[in-house]
Amino acid sequence: MIRDNRDHLFETAPTQGEISGLEVRLGDWALANPVMPASGCFGPELGALMPIAELGAVVTKTLFAGIRSGNPAHRLTESAHGMLNSVGIPSPGTEGFIRAVLPAYRGFGVPVVASLGGLTVEEYWQVTEELAVAEPLIDAYEINVSCPNLEHGGLAIGTDAATVERVVAGVAERTRLPLLVKLTPSVTSIGDIARAAEAAGAHAVTVCNSFPGMVVDPATRTTVLGNGVGGLSGPAVKPLALRLVWQAASAVTIPVIGCGGIATARDVVEFLLAGATAVQVGTATFTRPYVMVEIVRALPALCAELGVTDLAELIGGLRSTSPRGRTHA
């Protein structure tokens, strides 16, 4: 529930213009700060609840070529220390996105990252081609390779390095915009998938999407989610996501964007130390829509407490915790 005093909080807190030392770079692309929403967890309607202009960027919901209605109810359910969703990625299609959705995102005055989806390899390319007319309003693409691959029985496209490389290479051939690639955690080696994305032309990888899970209702002997299984997110997955960020950052030379259970400025610092350059906030926004702005405003004081004058001092700064001189994998 939104606190009644949130307006007072925003009025008395420092403005974005007074914050220094938070800029990060994703290749040649500079962001005023490292905080952005995770795809699927933010819509333009939140602009009425907080000053979006203080974020580093906004990320749209994943876009498909055609109109999608999503999965049957129930789509969301709580779990201990987290949430499971089986929304199914509803989409207005590229035409509806360009006409009715993109202008609202652009109106916030911060960089816009459009999330690309596809149920086939070719659909990613099709979406990219159809968005070409709108690219002056888009700053970067995030290729969501966690989508179910209809060409291979519904397995996530991102579970196969060769397929990821093919998807990303095809998108790179069709645009000059920076490319982020959002990886699935459902792989044996996140490093292999990250390297495939880098080899194909990705400018950064986002680690990671939600973890597959299930909630069962003993009274009805059925699954709670209408689709049976869903994606687990929230504080419960943070240790898992941190490890994957560290592994991905160790495997590639391009930046990593950390995602998974982030709800505080201290969480952000932990992900930066593990190797992330920027972060995405998802589940925390469901109960605290203003949490991203709170995080941005809390970062300078936390950095001062840690003796840090620039976020770059934190990125990849995790010290060894292993007696053998390296962090355990």
Q: How high is the pLDDT of residue 327? A: 47
Q: How high is the pLDDT of residue 230? A: 78
- More confident: 74 or 48: 48
- As a whole number, mean pLDDT of residues 168-183 equals 98
Q: 144 exposed, middle or buried (CB, 10 Å; 0-12, 13-18, 19+)?
A: buried
Question: Which tokens belong to 165?
Answer: 């490389």
- More confident: 69 or 181: 181
Q: How high is the pLDDT of residue 43? A: 84
Instruction: Kindly list the distances between the CA atom of residue 231 and the CA atoms of 120, 166, 298, in Å, as whole numbers in the listed order.
Output: 21, 25, 29
pLDDT of residue 20 exceeding 80 = no
pLDDT of residue 278 exceeding 50 = yes
Beta bridge partner(s), residue 142: 115, 180
In the numeric block, the tokens 């967890």 are attached to: 41
pLDDT of residue 273 exceeding 60 = yes
**What element of type H or E holds 167?**
helix 161-174
User: pLDDT-derived band of residue 18, with 50, 70 and 90 as boundaries?
Assistant: very low
Residues 85-107: tens digit of each pLDDT: 776 677 889 999 999 999 999 99
In the numeric block, the tokens 């609202």 are attached to: 104
Largest alpha-carbon pair distance within the chain?
Answer: 57
Catalytic residue from among 147, 208, 259, 303:
147
Distance in angstroms between the alpha carbons of the first and the last residue of the chain: 38
Q: How high is the pLDDT of residue 177? A: 98
Distance CA 307, CA 295 (A): 18
User: pLDDT-derived band of residue 6, with 50, 70 and 90 as boundaries?
Assistant: very low
Helix (H, G, I), strand (E, B) or coil at 42: coil
Q: Beta 112-116 vs 256-259: how paired, if at all?
A: unpaired
Backbone Cα Rg of the chain: 19
Q: How high is the pLDDT of residue 91? A: 84
Q: Beta 35-37 vs 278-281: how paired, if at all?
A: parallel
The answer to whether 147 is a known catalytic residue is yes
- As a whole number, mean pLDDT of residues 156-161 equals 92
Distance CA 220, CA 235 (A): 28
Q: How high is the pLDDT of residue 155? A: 65
Q: How high is the pLDDT of residue 45? A: 83
- C-alpha triplet 247, 252, 255: angle, nearest 5°: 95
Q: How high is the pLDDT of residue 207? A: 97
pLDDT of residue 5 exceeding 60 = no
pLDDT of residue 298 exceeding 50 = yes
- As a whole number, mean pLDDT of residues 218-242 equals 87
**Cβ count within 10 A of residue 288:** 18
Question: What domains appear along the chain, each with residue ranges and CATH number?
Answer: 6-313 (3.20.20.70)
Q: Provide the mean pLDDT of the chain.
A: 87
Instruction: Kindly list the distances between the CA atom of residue 266 and the CA atoms of 23, 89, 218, in Å, as whole numbers in the listed order.
Output: 17, 30, 38
pLDDT of residue 10 exceeding 70 = no
Residues 6+ apart with CB under 8 A from 39: 59, 60, 61, 62, 113, 115, 142, 144, 182, 280
Residues 6+ apart with CB under 8 A from 54: 15, 16, 33, 293, 296, 297
CB 278 within 8 A of CB 238: no
Q: How high is the pLDDT of residue 220? A: 93
SS (H, E, C) 51-114: CHHHCCCEECCCECCCEECCCCCCCEEEECCEEEECCCCCEEHHHHHHHHHHHHHHCCCCCEEE
Instruction: Report the sign of the C-alpha dihedral through residues 146, 248, 302, 29, in that order.
Output: negative
Q: How high is the pLDDT of residue 151? A: 55
Lowest mean pLDDT, pick from 4-8, 65-69, 155-159, 233-237: 4-8
- As a whole number, mean pLDDT of residues 307-326 equals 78
pTM of the model: 0.88
- As a whole number, mean pLDDT of residues 261-290 equals 95
